[in-house]
Structure 1
Amino acid sequence: MGLRRKSREFALQFLFSHDFQGRSSAPEDVDQEINVFCRSFDVGDKALPYGEELIHGICTHIDEIDALLAEHSHHWRVERMSLVDRNILRIAVYEMQHCDQAPVQVAINEALEIAKRYSIGESVAFINGILDAVQVSVNR
């Protein structure tokens, strides 16, 4: 497994916990929460920098990302999506919009591979459909 995938998985695990517990997205709170998370779980030192970049970026742009997801997830409110799927989508959308190092298609493919590992089979098609729609709107 590549380093970026490990970083994305770390971000997913953190964001799942963060979302589940309804934690604050203020940068200082997120930093403290990351420190606690890393002491509790084995997060590789090499995966940490990009994972932290994703986490901070998503927490900073959460309203913008969720609005984009809501716009493209017909018949599904963002808050009703499973925690896993919602956070996989957030990671991919953040990368699509804010990370020049990750081409859009790579962000989508990585999201689908992570969904295969952490979510249910039907979620892969759900995530793919939303990300394809987001891709079209982002590339206008």
Structure 2
Amino acid sequence: MKSRTKARSVALQVLYEIDLTGHPIGTVFQTRLDTEPLDKSTADFSWQIIAGVVPLMAKLDAFIAQHAPEWPMDQVAIIDRNILRIAVWEFAVSETTPVKVAINEAIELAKLFGSDSTPRFVNGVLGSLANRQAEIKKALGLTTL
């Protein structure tokens, strides 16, 4: 597994636990690193995702829900919800990952961790969000340059 893919995988696992249990992010991340050691750059990227997504969870969910109206966010599987959050954060908030790469990585995570229908669901939702970075930033209350 490539290092950035591994970082996303660890971030997803941490976000899943936080979403499910409400445990403190630092504790969950450190426990994950103790279980699955990462090199510094991979751990740093994983932390960037986690620290970027957590404070925006509710806002990300509200925006994602607008583009998946047949699936209320409280009914979307926790793993699916976090895959979507990571991808949207990567291409619209951090803007460090090209949209197509973020979508492809999200689909790979969906194949690894989701149900049989997760990759198609993730692809559909992210496909509808692909060209809306400025709109997403505005909806999240972030400024665009």
Normalised by the shorter chain, which TM-score bucket? 0.7 to 0.9
Task: Using the TM superposition, give the Cα deviation of residue 68 of structure 1 relative to its aligned residue in structure 2, in angstroms.
Answer: 1.1
Contact 1:68–1:134, Cα closer than 8 Å, also in 2: no
AA aligned opposite 2:86: I
RMSD: 1.6
Unpaired runs of at least 5, structure 2: 136-145
Q: Give the corresponding residue for 1:33.
A: 28
Identity, in percent, stands at 33
Contact 1:12–1:87, Cα closer than 8 Å, also in 2: yes
Q: Give the corresponding residue for 1:45.
A: 39
Give the length in aligned residue pairs: 134
Alignment partner of 2:96: what SS? coil
Return structure 1 stretches of 4+ with deviation > 6 angstroms. Answer: none
Q: Give the corresponding residue for 2:80.
A: 85
Q: Given the two structures, how large is their TM-score scaled by the length of structure 2?
A: 0.84
Q: Give the corresponding residue for 1:64.
A: 59
Contact 1:58–1:90, Cα closer than 8 Å, also in 2: yes
Contact 1:10–1:43, Cα closer than 8 Å, also in 2: no
Task: Using the TM superposition, give the Cα deviation of residue 30 of structure 1 relative to its aligned residue in structure 2, in angstroms.
Answer: 2.3
Unpaired runs of at least 5, structure 1: 24-28
> Does residue 1:123 correspond to 2:118, yes or no?
yes
Distance 1:44 1:137 in 2: 33
Contact 2:92–2:134, Cα closer than 8 Å, also in 1: no
Q: Given the two structures, how large is their TM-score scaled by the length of structure 1?
A: 0.87
Task: Using the TM superposition, give the Cα deviation of residue 42 of structure 1 relative to its aligned residue in structure 2, in angstroms.
Answer: 1.1
Q: Give the corresponding residue for 2:101.
A: 106
Alignment partner of 1:37: what SS? helix
